[in-house]
Amino acid sequence: MSIKGKAYIGGIFEHPTRLATDKSLAMIHAEVAKGALEDAGLSKDDVDAYFCAGDAPGLGPMSMADYMGLTKLKHFDSTDVGGSSYVVHVGHACEAIAAGKCKVALITLAGRPRAEGMATGTVPRSRGGSPTPDEPFEFPYGPTVVNMYGMAAMRHMHEFGTTSEQLAWIKVAASHHAQYNEHALLRDVVTVQDVVNSPMISDPLHRMDCCVITDGGGAVIVVAPEIAKSLKRPKVKIIGAAETTKNQMGGAVDLTYTGARYTGPASFAEAGVKPSDIKYASIYDSFTITVLMQLEDLGFCEKGKGGAFVSDGNLISGTGKLPFNTDGGGLCSNHPGNRGGLTKVLEAVRQVRGEAHPKVQVKNCDLALAHGTGGSLGSRHGSGTIILERE
């Protein structure tokens, strides 16, 4: 059984906040849920499935269904694969709808690391509680988010000759888009020189190779075809979805590829389209290197040629061949709760609906892709890809 055409995106909402000192975590989840329901033209009591990940307080669906007053749930899922969770949730919602388990699936994300003063990328964090089996063999060495991605970037440079200047083009493209997003944290257009001259955080990643740390959140509502028909919104059909995990392979460590090497081809096969058909791509951008490696693995360019592919504005809407992250993405706009998968879905939906900012809207954007990577390229991560089509 395929999920192709079995479900649609009915509603979306992105929280405008980037600093939520005045809000609780549960409150942000509820606010984005309300926003997405209003966008769809549905009510809370229409929701019969709920999806959330590790950012939700308490025991995920139990705690949040109670808080939001969701009383009609027939299906729920708290799969947590870091920032990629919400892309994976869209695929899972399609499966549940296709299986007849539910008709209106709500997915929420929220987080407030900025309000909490979290040093997201530069401090090693023990997971606490029951340690993961890898932890004793890694934590003492000081792995952080940035140096783990840094090792992936360093190896890519070593094997393929990728340069800091090439990586910088990814940030440059994101900044070109962010200037039009009134909610973006960083709206200044930057140059390759700005990026490579920004302070080194962990070699070879500079500050501007890193995404922002923000509060906020977002929600997506996935609906059955008969519900989509009844809504007064453009119809965005989900035609392909795939997920996987990638890890250290028992010590056969290979940092040159990501889980997208599987989820790209698998989702394209389900959708019956190829990378060159895609008009717009939301690509997870925790770091510039994340984007580059995912583009290669998804099949937008050959392995090792990502540096050349992203250079010279090729990712900038209106000038490049593959417009990406036209909201400014994680590199410039937001990265709510240090999890960027949900906002990747949101901008892809806006593009397919024709509702992106006019300065970055891709013409005749009938086919878009959203991809998420959660966890670390340097050790273990989850990957999720979805392909969206305008009907």
- Minimum Å gap between C-beta 133 and other proteins is 7
25 binds other proteins (CB under 8 A): no
245 binds other proteins (CB under 8 A): no
286 binds other proteins (CB under 8 A): no
Structure tokens at 253: 């460590």
Distance CA 69, CA 43 (A): 12
- Minimum Å gap between C-beta 380 and other proteins is 12
128 binds other proteins (CB under 8 A): no
Choice between 208 and 281, CB closer to other proteins: 208
By CB under 8 A, the count of residues binding other proteins is 39
- Minimum Å gap between C-beta 373 and other proteins is 18
141 binds other proteins (CB under 8 A): yes
- Minimum Å gap between C-beta 203 and other proteins is 5
248 binds other proteins (CB under 8 A): yes
Distance CA 61, CA 51 (A): 7
201 binds other proteins (CB under 8 A): yes
- Minimum Å gap between C-beta 247 and other proteins is 9
Q: Which of 46, 134, 165, 355 binds other proteins (CB under 8 A)?
A: 134
Choice between 122 and 319, CB closer to other proteins: 122
291 contacts 285 by C-beta, under 8 angstroms: yes
- Interacting residues with other proteins between 249 and 278 (CB under 8 A): 249-253, 255
117 binds other proteins (CB under 8 A): no
Going across the sheet that includes 8-14, the strands are 75-77, 49-51, 104-111, 216-223, 8-14, 236-246, 381-390, 367-375, 280-283
Among 38-46, 101-109, 245-253, 261-269, the segment contacting other proteins (CB under 8 A):
245-253
Q: Which of 131, 193, 197, 269 binds other proteins (CB under 8 A)?
A: 131
Cα–Cα nearest to 241, from 112, 60, 83, 369: 369
Find out whether the peptide bond into 204 is cis, omega within 30 degrees of 0: yes
139 binds other proteins (CB under 8 A): yes
- Minimum Å gap between C-beta 155 and other proteins is 4
137 binds other proteins (CB under 8 A): yes
163 binds other proteins (CB under 8 A): no
Among 4-12, 198-206, 301-309, 328-336, the segment contacting other proteins (CB under 8 A):
198-206
Choice between 46 and 134, CB closer to other proteins: 134
Cα–Cα nearest to 294, from 335, 325, 320: 325
Length of the chain: 391
Among 25-33, 78-86, 131-139, 297-305, the segment contacting other proteins (CB under 8 A):
131-139
129 binds other proteins (CB under 8 A): no
Choice between 85 and 202, CB closer to other proteins: 202
Q: Which of 100, 128, 129, 142 binds other proteins (CB under 8 A)?
A: 142
Interface residue list for other proteins (CB under 8 A): 122, 131, 133-144, 146-148, 150-155, 158, 199-205, 248-253, 255, 379
